[in-house]
Amino acid sequence: MRFRQIIEFRTRRIDDFNAHLDGWITQTDGRRIAHQAVVCKEQGAEDVYLLTVEFSSHAVAMENSARPETSEFAAFLTSICDGPLEFRNLDVLRAEDL
């Protein structure tokens, strides 16, 4: 079953986030195990963002969490945030490309 994690965060440094994400994408080329990452800004809420990352399964997501580059990215994200990160862990029951 596919697995999706949503990380909600608040930052005034979204440009730094995007630059770091670009670097991470380059750094992990050929080794990434996530299928997709989507960054959204909450409309009507200042500086609130959602990062959604999808994996083939919960086990693969846990493997990803144990990687050093994932820990480094999480530490960076924490350092630029104005408050704690909020996580939602979701089993994907159905997905349709519409």
Q: What is the DSSP letter of 82?
A: S
Query: Could you say which DSSP state residue 56 is in?
Result: S
Question: For residue range 32-51, what is the model confidence (pLDDT) as tens digits?
Answer: 999 899 999 999 999 999 99
Q: Can you give the residue ranges of every domain in the chain? A: 3-91
pLDDT one-digit tens code per residue, 5-33: 999 999 999 999 999 999 999 999 999 99
Q: Could you tell me the pTM of the whole model?
A: 0.91
pLDDT for position 97? 86
d(C-alpha 3, C-alpha 53), whole Å:
8
Quickly name the fold that domain 3-91 has. Alpha-Beta Plaits (3.30.70)
Tens of pLDDT, residues 39-94: 999 999 999 999 999 999 999 999 999 999 999 999 999 999 999 999 999 999 99
- Whole-number Å distance between alpha carbons of 40 and 43: 9
